[in-house]
Amino acid sequence: MRLVLQTYSPGAFYCEMLSSRAAGPIRDRLSALTIEALEQRAAAAEAELYNLGITFTVYSEKDAIDRILPFDVLPRVISAEEWRHIEAGVTQRITAINRLLHDIYHEQHILKDGVLPADLILGNANYRPAMQGIDLPYGCYVHICGTDLVRDEHGTFRVLEDNARTPSGVSYVIENRRLMLRAFPDLLDGIALREVDDYGLHLAAAMQEIAPAGMDNPSVVLLSPGTYNSAFFEHVFLAREMGVPLVEGRDLEVRDDRVWMRTTGGLAAVDVIYRRISDEFLDPECFRADSMLGVPGLMRAYRMGNVTLANAVGTGVADDKAVYAYMPRIIRYYLQQEPILANVETHICREPEALAFTLDHLADLVVKPVGESGGYGITIGPRASRQELEECRAKLLADPANYISQPCVRLSVSPTLVDGQIVPRHVDLRPFAITGKRTWVLPGGLTRVALREGSLIVNSSQGGGSKDTWVLE
């Protein structure tokens, strides 16, 4: 009989389970379980995910394969105090990002005052001149934000990345909790957790709030690329939770600068669109002409203020990895506050001293291309072969402005069930925040876990899984 945690050792890393005093009672309960019992319950939970079709689709040349996001049954615990800190920090950050976007798409004070280099913004691939001068309800651009946090070896939370475009993963937060409630009712018994089930209600309320002025009973839809999109399950989930139609571009049309959807009874007006399609595919008249996913004329209706898009167009300029480096200064500039959540120290390779430093310390740094997401194109110095480092050096020299570098954060670990053993695996945390009139942060967020031994990359496309995140009352 092997007990959970009996032989577990986190090594030199900060451990989310062992280092947390608040996790004590949960630790005690887990310690009384055998690994075999844990495995049985994990297998049952996995079968349930498959039956429920909580899957993302992986396309190969021949087939479409439905895979479940690997789910680890050992929860990640966050104390009430830690959560207050994260919540305040995330809210502060989103407030600053919204102020930044409003400024960029209006007077551009921050550029004129020299706090941000103008070419970093105006030359950015995600800067949308079409947004210039448009006034949005509550000046809000980023209605749904996912802020990626990591925890270093001292247990300090740091922001790794802001996801201000169409962040995904929130459906797993809620489904993971539902799954845990069914699979481990005994583990949760008598432990007060913050709820996650009301995300859909908060989202629906915010979507109503941001409708164009004068709409009494605004009609909200969720715009998806369709069933073949890998995140389609999440789109379904959110539409269900909000109780709104899940539409595709072909269901919508623009007439007289208004957006309409095709119903059995003819055209019906649409006031708010939570879109899960990226900017460039939204409107073939304005962006990519070959987009089959979008709605011709949508930007016209948007510019006239006849429809609200969530998130707004052009938010990608704010979650750019290069702009990220300036975020502490952006917070100070707009809010006259010190950042509550620190950044990871970042070297902007477009700056000569930073490039020189990066080239000198390549083997110790993580080098990231600024435009990519999903963990692609990253070189982790301490893990890279000599050849990989040389390739990285060549790329940096060829196009320094495309890269940033950061010290290698020793990410915290969490005990994880892998092949019948409880082993330490690195985790991050993506809290989700909704902003209408004000910002609300879903307690907890998505804990992603790098399932491969030693791996720091938690993305689902690169072998990552997820855990339920328990914020204690």
Partner 1 sequence: MNETLLARYAECLFWLARYVERVENLARILDVNETFSRDSRGDQNWRSVVQLFADQERFSRRYDTIDADTVLDFYVRDVTNHTSIVSAMRAARENARTLRPMISTEMWTQLNVFYNRLSGLTADELAPGRRARLFGEIKEACQTHAGITEGTLYQDQGWHFYQMGRFLERADQTTRLLDMKYHLLLPKPSDVSSYLDVSQWNALLRSVAGYHAYRRVHPRGISPARVAGFLLLDKRFPRSVHLCIRQVEVLLSELKARYALRGGQGAAEELDGLRGLLDSLGIARILAEGLHEFLDSVQLRLITVSGDLSASFFGQ
Kindly list the residues in this chain that would bind partner 1 in the complex (CB under 8 A): 50-53, 217, 219, 227, 232, 236, 239-240, 244-248, 250-251, 261-266, 268
Could you tell me the smallest distance in angstroms from the CB atom of residue 201 to partner 1? 16
Q: Choose between 218 and 424: whose C-beta lies nearer to partner 1.
A: 218
Q: Residue 178 or 395: which CB sits closer to partner 1? A: 178
Q: Which is nearer to partner 1, 65 or 118 (CB)?
A: 65
Task: Compare residues 53 and 133 and give the one whose CB is closer to partner 1.
Answer: 53
Cα 236-241-244 angle, rounded to 5 deg: 75
φ/ψ of residue 273, rounded to 5: -120, 115
Rounded Cα distance, 340 and 342, in Å: 6
Q: What is the DSSP letter of 121?
A: H
Minimum CB separation from partner 1 for residue 204, in Å? 13
Nearest alpha-carbon partner for 417 in 2, 4, 32: 4
CB of 262 to partner 1, least distance (A): 5
By DSSP bridging, strand 220-223 and strand 347-348 are unpaired
CB closer to partner 1 out of 62 and 386:
62
Q: How far apart are the C-alpha atoms of 218 and 228, rounded to whole Å?
A: 29
Residue-wise over 386-402: b if at least 16 C-beta within 10 A, else e?
eeeeeebeebbeeebeb
Query: Quick one: 178 or 393, whose CB is closer to partner 1?
Result: 178
- Residue 84, number of CB atoms within 10 A of its CB: 11
Q: Which is nearer to partner 1, 132 or 263 (CB)?
A: 263
Give least dist CB 260 to partner 1, A.
Answer: 11
Distance CA 465, CA 471 (A): 19
Question: How many CA atoms are closer than 13 Å to the CA of 324, on its beta-carbon side?
Answer: 32
CA distance 233 to 241: 12
**Cβ distance to partner 1 smaller for residue 264 or 336:** 264
The minimum distance between CB 169 and partner 1, in angstroms, equals 18
Q: Could you tell me if residue 117 is left (phi over 0), alpha (psi between -120 and 50 degrees) or otherwise beta? A: beta
Q: What is the DSSP track for 360-385?
A: HTGGGEEEEESS--TTTT-EEGGG--
Q: How far is the CB of 4 from partner 1 (least distance, A)?
A: 30
Contact 4, 422 (CB under 8 A): yes
Shortest distance (Å) from residue 270 CB to partner 1: 10
Least CB distance to partner 1 at residue 173 (A) = 17
Nearer to partner 1 among residue 175 and residue 319 (C-beta): 175
- Helix boundaries (H) for 285-417: 298-303, 321-324, 327-335, 352-360, 386-398
| Residue-by-residue DSSP string for 31-91 | HTSBHHHHHHHHHHHHHHHHHHT-EEEEE-SS-EEEEEPPEEEEEEEE-HHHHHHHHHHHH
Q: Which is nearer to partner 1, 236 or 401 (CB)?
A: 236
Smallest distance, Å, CB 254 to partner 1? 16
We find the least distance from the C-beta atom of residue 298 to partner 1, in angstroms, to be 17
